Amino acid sequence: MVNPAKLRETIAAGILILGSAAAAYSGYRLIGVLSVNAAIQDPSEASLEEDTAPEAVFAKALAFDREGDYQEALRLYHTLQNQADPAFRERVRYNMGTIYLREAASLWNARGVLEYTRVNALVAMAKENLKEALRLNPADQDARFNLEYAFRITPPPKEKEKANWQGTKSSVFSTLPGIPGGGP
Amino acid sequence: MRKFALPLAIILSTAAAFALLMNANDAAAPARFESQDDHAATHTMGDLIVRDVLVSTGPGVRIDPASLPAPGALSDWAEIRKVETDSNEEQTRIRFTYQVFYGLRGPETAELPPLRLRFEGAGGAPDVEAPALPVSFMPLIPPGIPDEKVAVRPLRPAETLPISPYGKWLALSLIAAGAGLLYLLWMRGLLPMFAGPLPFRRACRDLQRAASQPSPGQAACLILHRALNETAGEAIFGNGLESFLGRHPQFAGIRGELDEFFALSRRVFFAEDADGDAYAHCLKLARRARLLERRPS
């Protein structure tokens, strides 16, 4: 026969232990989230480690881009493009595409076809990333707009260079081997 | 008349064979393209376009899944995202979901390519072709704006992580742990604001106060008797100890000390014995009982 008072005491002790464990776990996670949020709010102070939260890396990449180091920003975004969360991946792809597009647009508007190769490469990267962003979220209006702009500034296909050979008919024959001794 | 009999028989048998063949063909009921949605809507960059192709089929005729295009790039501006089929005895509906990335500067029309679908059945069935589907497009960027005036849409900001689930869990778990702790404290009489301390806890406190009295042994015995009586709800004597322990089994572990206490009490009050170590004995017993006592349910 179980003593009811003892049973109640055991249940209360169990609730106390479980509640304490849950409180400790929640507190630990809460502190983790708060520290990530602090790194997001002020990414310039945050240092990047192996286990840095993806959103903090994203914020750091934004900070690099704001400071003008877009290549470092792209390098960081590249490390994030295989994250599991599709919404997060979409934002990463959108930002990558938009950075490539912005650089391509500034070159295209400043130099035009003179920078054909670089603009073409940058626009191709912009299109690839913005298309991926739209595959992940077809409703993304900003990605649609930027992708359309990427198509607008795609340089026209370069004409195949004409042959630059200046030879004459006689010079062709002069290169053919003759028969020694002037044979028939 | 006889000379026409053989040719007539040949003609009739040929006609019969042809009729039989025609019937067999009808029975096979080859698949036939019926319709597909006409896309009157105008689309923009990144849109999903759903194309429903309806094919009528005879019994036993079904689409060959290998003839369906696989999801992926279809052309330089269209991709197939999903292909779904829904068949019954009379028709097969094939739903293609495309995503289009058509670059343009003004309104344009393009065509989604025709589809060749293969069906298979008992009598065999020819391929079915769904014609090309014209789709209208219009630009998102107004056509009149020069390229250098177009402002690229800004980058996405970083999003702070939500703290709400952890804050809620923390609050709930703290409430649960606090409730358990309060109940345990209340049971052990450690919450004086709720109905005062338990008898032996109060006895311990009173015993400490009685230490300075001229004969603390007698006072200590009185205090301990009072605590026992209060716990039992009636006066307890040495001969009633067993029934007391039956009702309060938590004190069974100090049965010996309680027996000794009743003997000691008799000596102190009736044998005119000196106090001796009565006080110390009572204090020790009260402390042990305090650890065992629980608030009654």
Q: Residue A103's closest chain B neighbor by CA?
A: B152
Structural domain total, chain A: 2
Residues 6+ apart with CB under 8 A from B45: A134, A144, A145, A147, A148, A151, B100, B101, B102, B103, B139, B140
Which one, of B276, B119, B103, B287, lies nearest residue B201 by Cα? B287
Predicted confidence at residue A63, as pLDDT, reads 93
Task: Give chain B's count of helices (H) and strands (E).
Answer: 7, 12
Show me where the domains of chain B are located. Answer: 28-141, 199-292
Closest in B99, B160, B297 to A5, CB measured: B297
Q: Judge if A90 and A61 occupy the same domain.
A: no
Read off the pLDDT of residues B108-147 as tens digits, 9 standing for 90 and up.
999 988 888 888 876 666 788 888 888 999 999 998 888 8
pTM: 0.65
B45–chain A nearest CA distance, Å? 6
Closest in A22, A33, A152 to B141, CB measured: A152
Answer whether A145 sits within 8 Å of B187, measured CB to CB. Answer: no
Q: What value of ipTM does the predicted structure carry?
A: 0.75
Mean pLDDT across chain A: 85
- Return the structure tokens found at A8: 């109640």
Residues of chain A found within 8 Å of residue B50, distances taken between Cβ atoms: none
Q: Judge if A104 and A143 occupy the same domain.
A: yes
Residues of chain A found within 8 Å of residue B187, distances taken between Cβ atoms: 5, 8-9, 12
Q: Judge if A92 and A135 occupy the same domain.
A: yes
Helix axes B216-232, B255-270, angle to 10 degrees: 130
Instruction: Of B16-25, B40-49, B133-142, B285-294, give the lowest mean pLDDT range.
Output: B16-25
Q: Judge if A114 and A144 occupy the same domain.
A: yes
A161–chain B nearest CA distance, Å? 25
Q: Between B64 and B179, whose confidence is greater?
A: B179
Residue A74 in domain? no
Identity of the residue numbered B69: P
Task: Give chain A's count of helices (H) and strands (E).
Answer: 7, 0
B203-220 burial, b at 16+ Cβ within 10 Å, e below that, comes to: bbebbeebeeeeebbbbb
Predicted confidence at residue B120, as pLDDT, reads 81
Predicted confidence at residue B139, as pLDDT, reads 94
Residues of chain A found within 8 Å of residue B74, distances taken between Cβ atoms: none
Answer whether A105 sits within 8 Å of B173, measured CB to CB. Answer: no
**B30 three-class SS:** coil
Q: Judge if A87 and A62 occupy the same domain.
A: no
Q: Between B174 and A178, whose confidence is greater?
A: B174
Mean pLDDT of A159-177: 56
pLDDT at residue B79 tops 90 = yes
Predicted confidence at residue A175, as pLDDT, reads 54
On whether any CB of chain B is under 8 Å from the CB of A65, the answer is yes
Round to whole Å and give the CA distance between A146 and A128: 12
Give the number of other Cβ atoms within 10 Å of residue A152's Cβ. 19
Residue found under tokens 């293969």: B118
Identity of the residue numbered B213: Q
Which one, of B113, B109, B25, B48, lies nearest residue B76 by Cα? B113
Instruction: Of A58-72, B7-21, B149-163, B195-209, give the lowest mean pLDDT range.
Output: B7-21
Residue A32 in domain? yes
Closest in B155, B160, B297 to A4, CB measured: B297
- Return the structure tokens found at A182: 């002037």
On the CB side of B48, CA atoms within 13 Å amount to 15
Options 1.10.150, 3.10.530, 3.40.30, 2.60.40; CATH for B28-141 is: 2.60.40
Residues of chain A found within 8 Å of residue B152, distances taken between Cβ atoms: 98, 101-102, 105, 146, 149
Q: Between B23 and B158, whose confidence is greater?
A: B158
Read off the pLDDT of residues A83-135 as tens digits, 9 standing for 90 and up.
989 999 999 999 999 999 999 999 988 888 788 889 999 999 999 999 999 99
Task: Please provide the DSSP assignment of B150-216 as one string.
Answer: PPPPPPPPP-PPP-HHHHHHHHHHHHHHHHHHHHHHHHTT--TTTT---HHHHHHHHHHHHTTSSSH
pLDDT at residue A169 tops 60 = no
Q: What percent of chain B has pLDDT over 70?
A: 84
pLDDT at residue A181 tops 70 = no
Round to whole Å and give the CA distance between A126 and A114: 19
Compute φ and ψ for A173, nearest 5 degrees.
Answer: -65, -30
Answer whether B184 sits within 8 Å of A13, measured CB to CB. Answer: yes
**B91 three-class SS:** strand
pLDDT at residue A39 tops 60 = yes
Kindly indicate the confidence band of residue B24, based on its pLDDT and cuts at 50, 70 and 90.
very low
Q: Judge if A86 and A55 occupy the same domain.
A: no
Round to whole Å and give the CA distance between B66 and B58: 20
Q: Which letter does DSSP use for residue B249 in this model?
A: G
Quick one: A158 exposed, middle or buried, by C-beta within 10 A (0-12, 13-18, 19+)? exposed
**A103 three-class SS:** helix
Which one, of A145, A142, A102, A94, lies nearest residue A122 by Cα? A102
Predicted confidence at residue B20, as pLDDT, reads 42
pLDDT at residue B2 tops 80 = no
Read off the pLDDT of residues B258-269 as tens digits, 9 standing for 90 and up.
999 998 888 888
On whether any CB of chain B is under 8 Å from the CB of A36, the answer is yes
Answer whether A138 sits within 8 Å of B179, measured CB to CB. Answer: no
Mean pLDDT across chain B: 83
- DSSP3 helix / strand / coil % (chain B, rounded to 5): 45, 20, 35
Read off the pLDDT of residues A1-18 as tens digits, 9 standing for 90 and up.
566 667 888 899 999 999
Predicted confidence at residue A1, as pLDDT, reads 57
Quote the domain boundaries for residue A149: 81-157
Round to whole Å and give the CA distance between B118 and B109: 28
Q: Residue A61's closest chain B neighbor by CA?
A: B158
Predicted confidence at residue B131, as pLDDT, reads 86
- Return the structure tokens found at B53: 């192709």
Residues of chain A found within 8 Å of residue B101, distances taken between Cβ atoms: 127, 131, 134, 147, 151
pLDDT at residue A42 tops 60 = yes
Answer whether A76's CB lies under 8 Å from A91's CB.
no
Predicted confidence at residue A103, as pLDDT, reads 95
Answer whether B140's CB lies under 8 Å from A148's CB.
yes
Predicted confidence at residue B67, as pLDDT, reads 85
pLDDT at residue B89 tops 60 = yes
Residue A41 in domain? yes
Residue A101 in domain? yes
Round to whole Å and give the CA distance between B158 and A57: 9
Give the number of other Cβ atoms within 10 Å of residue B43's Cβ. 17
